[in-house]
Structure 1
Amino acid sequence: MNFVLVHRIPGRARLRSDAPFGMRTAETLADRLDALEGVEGVRVNPRTGSVLLLYNNESVFDRASALLFGAGREQERRVPAPAPARGEKPSLFPFFHYLCLRPLLPVAVNMVSAFSRALPFLRRCLSSLAHGRLDVDALDGAAIAVSLLRRDFSTVGLLTLLLGFGDALERYTQKKSLENLASHLALQADRVWVKRSGAEELIPFGELRESDLVVVRAGSAVPVDGVVEGGTASVNESSMTGEPMGVLRSRGASVYAGTVVEAGEIHVRPTSLGKDTRMQQIVRFIEQSEQMKAGIQGRFEKLADKAVPFTFGLAALVWLCTRSLTRASSVLLVDYSCALRLATPLAILAAMDEGVKHKVMVKGGRFLEALSSVDTVVFDKTGTLTQSRPEVARVIPAEGYDEDFVLRLSACLEEHFPHPVARAVVHGAERRNLRHEEEHTEVEYVVAHGIASQWRGKRVLLGSRHYLSQDEGVDVSSMDAVVEDLSREGYSLLYLALDGRLAGLIAMEDPLRPESAALVEKLRGMGVKHVLMLTGDDVRTASAVAGRLGITEFRAQVLPEDKARVVQELRSEGRVVLMIGDGINDSPALSSADVGVTLRDGSDLAREVADVVLMGGSLRELVTALELGRGAMKRIHFNFLTTMVLNTAFLFGGLSGLLQPGASAVLHNLTTLGVSLNAMRPALPKGE
């Protein structure tokens, strides 16, 4: 197994081996890399042989590379131990054999069976010792070797049975957890309709070729990424974009697996099949993200591994003092790593799976840990606390005009432009049932300022105060008092002038999300100490919005490039910062935070960069994310304490002679099973 560098940018590198490797090797690599000072994140995917490394300086990358290249050579020398197929469901037949058949078999047969079952564990033990590691493999092998020396073949059989079953159970539960997590996003398509030689056929998905034309009708999911060759349909792409409205797709348009045809029929030429579809890439990302180990997982595993030499030393001391191999082997059979290595990642996987069920996608274990410690939440205002679609709030006519006239004429001009403010004015007129005839001449659009045209021989202007007052010389001072009041309330203003005279104002607002104020209150109730709002608006507007939401901390007139700096300043103060935003400009701040969160309708870049995606599109899911992180960490700490207490009790039972080796093995494995089952329980409070 050799590693090669695939790509590298400052602070991030991906390496890939020339062959896939097992979960045990992946865990070992992740542990060793995570132990290097300066390594900030590790993601190891045994299926693809990929290692993603996040680091803070170049010397760390050099040390990590040396470690990986050395590990590759070490893996080539290592003799692999036979094991059940990855993810194969553990069989109960070995228990039946041990309890019912073994007592009936001749002693010689049981001896040979015990030796053959022990060999894989002895090989692992020798491999660990040869490389200077006193780990769980060394501990298990030593316990089996002592039992063999005592000619206690019954205990050897029980040990290999329990250890083998435990390994199989670990592989199976991890595989099932990952499958369950990915299944919420994966596309299930067993059979598809295709057009071949002018006739339609229903074929198994596995027989689909890139030369086929896939027929997709209303109500069916698109099974492949491809290009429309014929037909027209409205396609719901919310699974990809988060946008709930259907989009028109006709000849030449691209469609993606997992999207749904709402109306019509299209014939799709596949461009990507199976594992290459965009939806399957998302699923693989979810599977790989589990390998982004939580810091707490690494810390607990390191602490447990440090106990292995202590266990060896204690067993040796017991033997020297008592000359009893029975007591010494009872001590060797108790270790702390098994339960923690299984229960901790299972708790993380279960929490990630539970999050998806509640429309919260967490992209890795370390982000769950960060969620549990958040004490500062930073909101971007536009599109996050607000709905990012302006509305007409009020219309204030100047003397001599009325509201309907101001809004009707403004809509008549704005209907020619697609930007959000223009659409809001047009919709405002529609809500009042105001019809506006085309009575103006050609419309001139002045970028970032406003609109100019001719209406019934009079020059009409619509735009900002600066445009009308400074550029066009219109006197707007007659409505300064009204402007002051509206600005204090947080409204943005459009000015309408007719023939050089101010005709009226249109007050625009970004409506707040209905759940925003309740969310802020809920966050404070959960113990979040600081809630901060960032906005590019002026101080008066920012103050008005913050006041309506109950937010006491805000930063106004913040440029997009300054958002990340604000987040970094907060982190430098020792805060654990969650940043939530939805735009491309929010992406640097999302990356800078301990946890970056975006909504399903955020920009593609924001969804890619964010550590947590609120798939339901509601800010209420932020509370779910925080409770999920806290619940998962609470479960992990409880399992850690339970594992340490019970295994310590078993250790002293072996020391005192109260527990025989077989009893120690049974109790130890029951503890592992118990904390693993506890790890998979729901982490969210009941009622969520």
Structure 2
Amino acid sequence: MSDPAKLRISPGAGGVSIWSEELFGAPDAHRLRDFIARAFSVEDVARLEIRSADAYGRIAYAPTAAPEGVWRKLAQALRRSAHTDDPDQALRNGRASQKTLEAVGAAHLYLGHPARLPIRVSRVGGTLSTWRLRPVGNDAVRLSHPALHRRRDLRHRLEEQIAAIFGVGEVRDRSFSSDVVLRFDPGILTLERLARELERAWPALIEGEDEPPSAKRLFTAGSLLTLAAVAQFAAPALRPVAVGAVVVYAAPNVVAAIRQARHGQVGLPALYSFGLGLMLLSGLPLTGTIMASLMQLWPYLAHRTIVNRQRRLFAAHRKRPTWARVAGRTVEIEVHVDDLKPGDEVVARAGETAPVDGVVIAGAASVADVLGGWASPLRDVAPGDALYAGALVRDGEVTIRVVRAGDATAAAHVGKILPHAAFRNLPSLFDAERVANRNAKPALALATLNLLTVRAPRFSQAVIRPDYITAPRLSAQLSALYDLASGLERGVLFRKLAAVDALADIDVVVFDDSAGLDRRRLAVDQIAAPSGSAEDALAYVATALASDRSERGLAVARLAARRASANVEAYGLRRSAGAIRFRDALDREVIVASPAYVERAGVRLPPKLERLAAFFEDPDGRPVIALRDGAPLGVVTFRRRGEAEAATTIAALKRQNPKLRFVHVSGRRTAAARAAADAAGIEFAFGGLDARGKISVLRGLGRRTIWVGDGAAPEAVEIMAASDVSVSVAGFGKAPTDAADVILLRGELAGLPSLNDLAAARRARIRGDYRTIYAANLLGVAGAFLANFGSLQSGLLSNLGSGLVYARHVRRLNRLIAAIEAQRGRLVG
């Protein structure tokens, strides 16, 4: 082009080609989006390709379109969009309106692709996309894009992003063709909506740090193994080449060993370097390359296992609806959740999932809250109740006033915390390195002594061949995934996974004011029964709530047990919005319902029952009403007047670990703090403290401490930093602003014993794995003494131990996945 300020346009039979350095060479995203919108405002335009490197764009017509007619329409669209008769000027300087962008589906296109890649835009339903979507049957689609070519990292991150789209099922990466095939539910997800989600995923694909398991070192070790095998058995002339290749491969260990020696240290690098020297003496590299290959195989398998299993373990926590039904005066409009604002009102019906965090303002529903770790995930919601994104509406219909939407929801925040790949910075990983380096010293000394006295390398090679590091690393990483997932099922979220290792060494538990030491357990307050006996009403309510582990259900169960209430035979028990129904032994219909359900059903209550049903102090303690054959039988009310929750929790912690000490730090007067501590069973209390005073107490304890309080409170940030582990009881709803290391999603102190259980179980698993691998290693060394084992036999025994550790963790993860999926199936079924 002689003049880059001018456009060169060349219409053709199938489309029009455009050259413009200004428009395409270094494209401005807004200008380019406007150009795309104007081009696709013509219905006969099928595709658009832009190559920034060549300052070139091409608009392709639909096959059945007449070229002359399309160009005239296109020229008119350009003039109309830019309010000018000059199409060149329109292409350079025009601006399409937001209405035009939305109408043609160009508003959400991602145009920040690297300049080396072409941008190819086509229609997908009523929107535009840079992705190519090719349907494969009614419920599958193949995705492709030039950026995916030879980019395993992009395809890996794409799989992660797609798996989080609500309605997507199986995702399969086709590496040989650089595309991805996915199955989806057409009743939930359309190709048009999928295209928008894919455009929305581009920043995470390009800027994300998650990588697929690297096979480079495994491939290198495998290549060395092949070369060594050929050199040793088929082509002896290649043996020097194989030995030289092994030396190059092991060079980093030699460098590390020299660096350690300069600091007076001896560890694994020295052990590996000594093994390299023995290999050079024998001139036989095969055994060393076999062991090197196995040492690369186990980490690769562990990384793949973590990547694959975490997708299934955390699927429910990452999948969230992206479209919502906005309530209007006459019609309902479906909008993307990113377009919602606080105060908007959305509707969720039976079979749908709540798309936002908000407050129910109308209607009633029975929901399955599978994300917050509730003690009873099945619960009823009515006006005034909080409802979070991800909750499944099993029955009924509710209107929700939006508080948070899109990536701001609690579920979205939890999904971001959950890992996608292998873990780093775990104390148990550092311990594995420390122990392995410590064990390298006696092995190296024994091997050196034998070599100096016997002068035969066979025994020395057998002594240094056991692998002391791979299995402990496997154990720490795979066990961490299990701990994170099993903790989540108990309502425990580890924001910093290192806390699960640190918890096992805690000496002191410090309760802040915000821990809720004064909170009491919910208890049955009154049972009013105008007709029949109160015992009958209690028995019916206890039967209905028998499987309900909510606070109300537990309160009723405790009272029924104390009174030894007779069990009621129940038939056909089923749950609906605000009510649990069944038939008793006399075939009478029994309904245990909420006040809202009774009001909707038009049941008239006697004045006394009506007053009781209308009053409650706590949303978790709403009254329940028992109806028999449609007639009111009784009302059960609740109040927080039971024993202090903290007392029960601390008693359980003392049973778990009698060595624990408990401290209360408070801003209240010392007498009030002492009274709260005594009621909870806490030995030490410090009152009249501000934030600095609490920090001073924590630091002055001189032991490993765990802080318990409201991690979402701004003033708690510095206090939490002074503890070894911080645990928040703020609950699921405050997760987006919670800075604690561990969040008890149920917002209850009763979750603290679960932390002890998780930490103790983790330590026991890791110790069991250490016993397995060290038994295998010692057996290999003993075999060298007693059975003349060589390097190969000793190394294979060690790797057998690694294989046992790996298999044990895979079985455990698979069992957990099966249990989680079965539980979710029962909740949503």
Pick the TM interval, shorter chain.
0.5 to 0.7
SS in 1 for 2:425: coil
- Percent of pairs identical after alignment? 20
Tell whether the 8 Å contact from 2:268 to 2:436 is kept in structure 1 after alignment: no
Tell whether the 8 Å contact from 1:314 to 1:331 is kept in structure 2 after alignment: yes
1:302 aligns with 2:434: yes
Could you say if the C-alpha distance between residues 676 and 120 of structure 1 is closer, same or farther in structure 2, counting changes exceeding 3 Å?
Answer: farther
Q: Which one of 250, 253, 257 corresponds to residue 128 of structure 1?
A: 253
- Per-residue CA distance 1:302-353 (angstroms, 9 max, x = gap): 2312444664564444334333233232233123222222223333332232
1:263 aligns with 2:376: no
Could you say if the C-alpha distance between residues 267 and 607 of structure 1 is closer, same or farther in structure 2, counting changes exceeding 3 Å?
Answer: closer
Query: Paired residue for 1:364?
Result: 496
Normalising by structure 1, report the TM-score.
0.52
Query: Paired residue for 1:622?
Result: 752
SS in 1 for 2:727: strand
CA–CA distance in structure 2, aligned partners of residues 547 and 611 of structure 1: 28
1:671 aligns with 2:806: no
Q: Which one of 683, 699, 704 corresponds to residue 576 of structure 1?
A: 704
Q: Which one of 601, 604, 609 corresponds to residue 734 of structure 2?
A: 604
- Per-residue CA distance 1:40-64 (angstroms, 9 max, x = gap): xxxxxxx9559xxxxxxxxxxxxxx
Tell whether the 8 Å contact from 2:324 to 2:337 is kept in structure 1 after alignment: no
- Per-residue CA distance 1:510-538 (angstroms, 9 max, x = gap): 85676332222222223144323344555
SS in 1 for 2:318: coil
- By relative contact order (CA 8 Å, sep 6+), the higher-ranking structure is 1
Query: Paired residue for 1:444?
Result: none
1:309-324 alignment runs, 5 A limit: 311-312=443-444, 314-324=446-456
Q: Which one of 171, 181, 204 corresponds to residue 303 of structure 2?
A: 171
Aligned amino acid, residue 128 of structure 1: N
CA–CA distance in structure 1, aligned partners of residues 665 and 340 of structure 2: 51
Query: Paired residue for 2:79?
Result: none
1:297 Cα shift?
A: 3.4
- Per-residue CA distance 1:420-459 (angstroms, 9 max, x = gap): xxxxxxxxx99994999xxxxxxxxxxxxxxxxxxxxxxx
Tell whether the 8 Å contact from 1:166 to 1:669 is kept in structure 2 after alignment: no
Could you say if the C-alpha distance between residues 311 and 194 of structure 1 is closer, same or farther in structure 2, counting changes exceeding 3 Å?
Answer: farther
Could you say if the C-alpha distance between residues 380 and 304 of structure 1 is closer, same or farther in structure 2, counting changes exceeding 3 Å?
Answer: same
1:165 Cα shift?
A: 3.2
Could you say if the C-alpha distance between residues 620 and 569 of structure 1 is closer, same or farther in structure 2, counting changes exceeding 3 Å?
Answer: same
- Per-residue CA distance 1:138-160 (angstroms, 9 max, x = gap): 85687578568746576467435
SS in 2 for 1:185: helix
Tell whether the 8 Å contact from 1:81 to 1:123 is kept in structure 2 after alignment: no
Cα RMSD after superposing both structures = 5.9
CA–CA distance in structure 2, aligned partners of residues 160 and 533 of structure 1: 53
Tell whether the 8 Å contact from 2:707 to 2:720 is kept in structure 1 after alignment: yes
* Structure 2 unaligned residues grouped into runs of 5+: 1-150, 154-206, 261-266, 526-606, 615-638, 814-829
1:623 Cα shift?
A: 0.6
CA–CA distance in structure 1, aligned partners of residues 237 and 297 of structure 2: 20
- Per-residue CA distance 1:253-292 (angstroms, 9 max, x = gap): x998635567357999x9968xx98745533423289746
CA–CA distance in structure 2, aligned partners of residues 272 and 109 of structure 1: 63
Tell whether the 8 Å contact from 2:518 to 2:676 is kept in structure 1 after alignment: no
1:369 Cα shift?
A: 2.9
Q: Which one of 234, 251, 256 corresponds to residue 108 of structure 1?
A: 234
Tell whether the 8 Å contact from 2:732 to 2:745 is kept in structure 1 after alignment: no
Q: Which one of 636, 649, 663 corresponds to residue 532 of structure 1?
A: 663
Tell whether the 8 Å contact from 1:370 to 1:594 is kept in structure 2 after alignment: yes
Tell whether the 8 Å contact from 2:644 to 2:680 is kept in structure 1 after alignment: no
CA–CA distance in structure 2, aligned partners of residues 119 and 186 of structure 1: 49
CA–CA distance in structure 2, aligned partners of residues 121 and 215 of structure 1: 65
1:667 Cα shift?
A: 0.8
CA–CA distance in structure 1, aligned partners of residues 279 and 306 of structure 2: 31
Query: Paired residue for 2:263?
Result: none
* Structure 1 unaligned residues grouped into runs of 5+: 1-18, 22-46, 51-78, 86-90, 203-207, 394-428, 437-508, 684-688
Normalising by structure 2, report the TM-score.
0.45
SS in 1 for 2:726: strand
Aligned amino acid, residue 554 of structure 1: A
Could you say if the C-alpha distance between residues 120 and 178 of structure 1 is closer, same or farther in structure 2, counting changes exceeding 3 Å?
Answer: farther
1:165-564 alignment runs, 5 A limit: 165-176=297-308, 178-179=310-311, 182-183=314-315, 185-187=317-319, 217-221=349-353, 239=371, 258=390, 263-264=397-398, 279-287=411-419, 291=423, 293-308=425-440, 311-312=443-444, 314-381=446-513, 384-387=516-519, 433=611, 515-526=645-656, 527-538=658-669, 541-542=672-673, 544-556=675-687, 558-559=688-689, 561-562=690-691
Could you say if the C-alpha distance between residues 277 and 614 of structure 1 is closer, same or farther in structure 2, counting changes exceeding 3 Å?
Answer: closer
Give aligned pairs, total: 470
SS in 1 for 2:731: coil
Could you say if the C-alpha distance between residues 325 and 81 of structure 1 is closer, same or farther in structure 2, counting changes exceeding 3 Å?
Answer: farther
SS in 1 for 2:418: helix
Aligned amino acid, residue 360 of structure 1: V
Could you say if the C-alpha distance between residues 80 and 633 of structure 1 is closer, same or farther in structure 2, counting changes exceeding 3 Å?
Answer: closer
SS in 1 for 2:479: helix
CA–CA distance in structure 2, aligned partners of residues 232 and 218 of structure 1: 12
CA–CA distance in structure 1, aligned partners of residues 433 and 795 of structure 2: 20
SS in 2 for 1:364: coil
SS in 2 for 1:613: strand
Aligned amino acid, residue 721 of structure 2: S
Could you say if the C-alpha distance between residues 256 and 581 of structure 1 is closer, same or farther in structure 2, counting changes exceeding 3 Å?
Answer: closer
1:666 Cα shift?
A: 1.2
Tell whether the 8 Å contact from 1:372 to 1:627 is kept in structure 2 after alignment: no
SS in 2 for 1:579: strand
CA–CA distance in structure 2, aligned partners of residues 529 and 289 of structure 1: 35
Tell whether the 8 Å contact from 2:388 to 2:733 is kept in structure 1 after alignment: no
CA–CA distance in structure 1, aligned partners of residues 340 and 736 of structure 2: 35
Query: Paired residue for 2:777?
Result: 647
Aligned amino acid, residue 777 of structure 2: N
1:622 Cα shift?
A: 0.5
CA–CA distance in structure 2, aligned partners of residues 568 and 289 of structure 1: 38
